[in-house]
Structure 1
Amino acid sequence: MSVRAWLAGLAAALLLPLAAAQPADTPVVTSAAQQAWLRERGVLRVAPERDYGPFVFVASDGRVAGLSVEMLQLVQRRTGIDLRWLPAQPLAAQLDLARARDADLLTSLRPNPERSAFLLFTRPYVKVPAILVARADRAPPTLQSLQGRPVAVGAGYAVEAVVRASYPQVRWLAVADDQQALDAVLARRADAAVVDAASAAFVIRREALAGLASAGEIGFNYELSFAVRADWPELRAILDAGIAAVPEPERAAVLQRWLEPLDAAGLAARAPLATRLGVLLVAFAVLAGVVLYARHARVKPALPRPRGGRPPP
């Protein structure tokens, strides 16, 4: 059986019980007070990250796409929020907008103390592990073995502060996004990169990158949430209600569409045989973590309100 077929079967086994957990026609509406609050605020500004696939990125047709975009659309249809998508930029630039209150909502973020000074975070809607990626022509390194060596990590990403504090002897190379981190490894500007497993698989497949191998998880998980400006707790409550109201079959369909194809088969095929099992285990961790977290976070939904559209180009 091929790696891709094996992982597709694994994904189906994990996701089908989640989809069957409750009926698809269990909708919800926001309260009258929340609807009044939304009418007073008008159109809300969403600041999307430019290249954090498969969660949020600019597609080839110029539209903002990804798992987080589709999750937000599901929430939008159940809450009545009216959204305007700002131009996509690197995360650091979007955080600056939010800090200045020139943006109202961001996606695909993990809370940390610095961000919590100016943002409020919803309940997480997806969970994936961070991994270490290195060139396939070397023995798999660890962060402990990379003291004094350059290792790429996303600038402003939640994992950056954690790894800098945990491994201060590593020479950290801050880059704009996970693609630049992987490019730095291939160009030998960095010995390795810390990236999340789903993003690594997405970039490797999209860019047809060869010569990379997973060196395993680093003990940090991305529990991704929507984030809103800190002076709007009402908006966080509205988004939390919308996340909780999404029926499990719809949630499972979004997760499967964006995560199931990212089986890292391309990475495993190009990696030495000794690293293939590690890649498969990372893929398993992504899928299992998503399903188990969604089950843990499930709450009883209420009534429907269809609304919302796709983000503009």
Structure 2
Amino acid sequence: MVLFALPRLLRVLPRLLPILVAAVLAWLALAGQGHADPRDWLTAEERAWVAQHPVLRVGGSASYGPFTYVDEEGRLTGLSVDYARRLMELTGLRFEFQPPRPFADNLDALAVGGLDVQMSMRETPERAQRFGFTRPYITVPAVLLRRAGAGDDPLRPGEAVAVARGYAVAEFLRDRYATNPLQVEVDDRTVLRRLAGGEVGAAVVDLAGATYLMRRDGIGNLRVVDDLGYAYGLGIGYRRDWPMLGRILDKALTRIGESERQAIADRWITQDTAAMRWQRRALWGVGIALALVVAGLGVTLLWNRALQRQVRLRGELLQRELGERMRLQDVDRARELAEVTSKTKSEFLSQASHELRTPLNAVLGFSQLLAHDPKRPLDDMQHSRLRHIDEAAKHLLVLIEDMMTLSRVEANTLSVQSLPLQAGPLLRRVVELAQPAAQAAGIDLQVGMTPEEDSTLPLVQADPIRLEQVLHNLISNAIKYNRRGGWVKVRACAEPRGFRIEVADNGIGLSPEQRSQLFQPFNRLGRVEQPGHGIGLVICKQLMERMGGRILVDSESGQGSRFTLELPAVPAAA
């Protein structure tokens, strides 16, 4: 039977063979899908180029904040570093940042092949002849700065203007303001210091870099006076002889979505967009309308209550009218005297603080110039004395800023916003800024929650600047009034009534008598051996109330303290 069927099978086999081959190929294709290259958006030629050039040498700057700069721990960080990490994940290339150098030196190295890539670089016609450029991934405006009190005039014809060496805005200034000589400095930090010290009258810096440097270096006597109409569209510069690298980076940048770009920008740059301005105007309108409604209801309620009391107490008031009038006159005179005294005190504090801050900024500016003058280097003893001058001036500047804040609070002129924000990143930023002080004092400062717990927290309704000011004050106090080897923990959690932030420590704590006097202005609670002036917590309490929240204290002498901030949470979307 088998021998009989064999000839028939041999006749059918040629017709079945194509079907069997197609089935085997389909099975192999399906089996290979589980091993697809995660970078299948690159062509075979591009993947081969990545395999041949796995490491890219990237230029970095020590003070080009917030794009690339060296932080307190000596690490290179910034917005450009975040983009470099994301591009490494997308392409498989390894970005190795070289030792920081001035921006102009990095451009020279890139031109001769000493570097392969320069992040956060604007394309110009002159640079396009030396380098390749990707599409921009962020845009920041260039602005004109002057010293406070020097007027708000735009750039005047013939006036010298300071710029950093190697920056693209210099070409724009030479074309647009041909009559204005350029004073070229080594970097933006030198530009701002010379402007703050009065050595130059005007300077042009990008807005993000100027904001970062003034905040980091404590330069408070400069202000933005004009937008020059020039924007840095920052992309990636690369070696001109590597066009394939530019094609790969351009494709990788298109895979970074708008929401991810915005998240990176928000981490390093506070941008005042049109949408944010529209939201502020809308919030102001809603707030004014609600205030009018509440005021109307309050007036109506008070009027009705006054009428009821008038009817009920008419007879008694007629008998006591003379005595009551005398008492009210005394109260009015006392209140008027108190108001005059308070107003005089506030005006004196405001005027004195303003008059003191100007020379102090000059002291800080000139002390920094002395410390960094390469032509007249100082010896160790002079450096030590200059450091004491700088520390004392900064301490006085903090005291003056607190006095001005207190006077503005008492005069009801302090602006406080109410915006939805994520508390986790804000807490971590404040803790990071306070880490050097904690380490110097031997205190273990930590955030008592994981980044995963951050994402589960609701948005809190608060002013980010004022909330950061309150947290910085509380953490500084927790470090200051602690003991070496102690700890300070900061955490946030959602509560049924809203949002709670806690700053706890195991320091020296407070007695019941000290707790009762905690929020009295200029009351040091008997701790004269510690630096301070006794108004920080008063400002914290006022700011919390202005944001619709409150501050609570739980402390025992020798057992540590816990300060709790209660704020409204943003309702979850339905």
TM-score normalised per structure 2: 0.40
User: What are the residue-to-residue correspondences of 1:155-304 with 2, within 5 Å?
Assistant: 155-260=165-270
Report the AA paired with residue 202 of structure 2: A
Distance 2:208 2:229 in 1: 15
For residues 82-101 of structure 1, what are the alpha-carbon distances to aligned partners after superposition, in whole Å with 9 as ceiling and x for unaligned?
A: 22221111111001101111
Partner of 1:139: 151
Partner of 1:52: 64
How big is the shift at 1:127? 0.4
How big is the shift at 1:69? 1.3
Greater gyration radius: 2
Distance 1:150 1:110 in 2: 24
Q: Displaced runs of 4+ in structure 1, greater than 3 A?
A: 26-29
Q: Is contact 1:27–1:246 with CA below 8 Å preserved after alignment? A: no
Structure 2: stretches of 5+ with no match in the other structure: 1-37, 274-400, 405-574
How big is the shift at 1:215? 0.7
Which is richer in helix? 2
Alignment partner of 1:99 out of 94, 111, 114: 111
Distance 1:133 1:204 in 2: 11
User: Quick one: structure 1 residues 48 and 94, their matched pair in 2 at CA, closer, same or farther if it must change by over 3 Å?
Assistant: same
* Count of residues in correspondence between the two structures: 238
Partner of 1:111: 123
Distance 1:135 1:27 in 2: 51
User: Quick one: structure 1 residues 258 and 28, their matched pair in 2 at CA, closer, same or farther if it must change by over 3 Å?
Assistant: farther
Distance 1:206 1:215 in 2: 21
User: Quick one: structure 1 residues 251 and 27, their matched pair in 2 at CA, closer, same or farther if it must change by over 3 Å?
Assistant: farther
Report the AA paired with residue 66 of structure 2: P
Q: Is contact 1:76–1:242 with CA below 8 Å preserved after alignment? A: no
Alignment partner of 1:35 out of 31, 36, 47: 47
For residues 255-289 of structure 1, what are the alpha-carbon distances to aligned partners after superposition, in whole Å with 9 as ceiling and x for unaligned?
A: 110112899xxxxx99xxxxxxxxxxxxxxxxxxx
Q: Is contact 1:109–1:226 with CA below 8 Å preserved after alignment? A: yes
Structure 1: stretches of 5+ with no match in the other structure: 1-25, 264-268, 271-313
How big is the shift at 1:28? 7.3
Matched, 1:152 2:159: no
For residues 101-143 of structure 1, what are the alpha-carbon distances to aligned partners after superposition, in whole Å with 9 as ceiling and x for unaligned?
A: 1110001110112211221110100001100000011111212
Report the AA paired with residue 40 of structure 1: Q
Distance 2:216 2:271 in 1: 12
Report the AA paired with residue 216 of structure 2: R
SS at 2:146 equivalent: strand
Computed over aligned residues only, the root mean square deviation of the Cα atoms, in angstroms, reads 2.2
Report the AA paired with residue 240 of structure 1: D
Distance 2:67 2:204 in 1: 17
Q: Which has the higher contact order (CA 8 A, sep 6+)?
A: 1
User: Quick one: structure 1 residues 28 and 260, their matched pair in 2 at CA, closer, same or farther if it must change by over 3 Å?
Assistant: farther
SS at 2:109 equivalent: helix
TM-score normalised per structure 1: 0.72
Alignment partner of 2:139 out of 127, 132, 148: 127
Distance 1:100 1:87 in 2: 17
Q: Is contact 1:153–1:178 with CA below 8 Å preserved after alignment? A: yes
Distance 1:96 1:239 in 2: 21
Report the AA paired with residue 99 of structure 1: A
Q: Is contact 1:29–1:78 with CA below 8 Å preserved after alignment? A: no
Report the AA paired with residue 56 of structure 1: T
Distance 1:41 1:78 in 2: 15
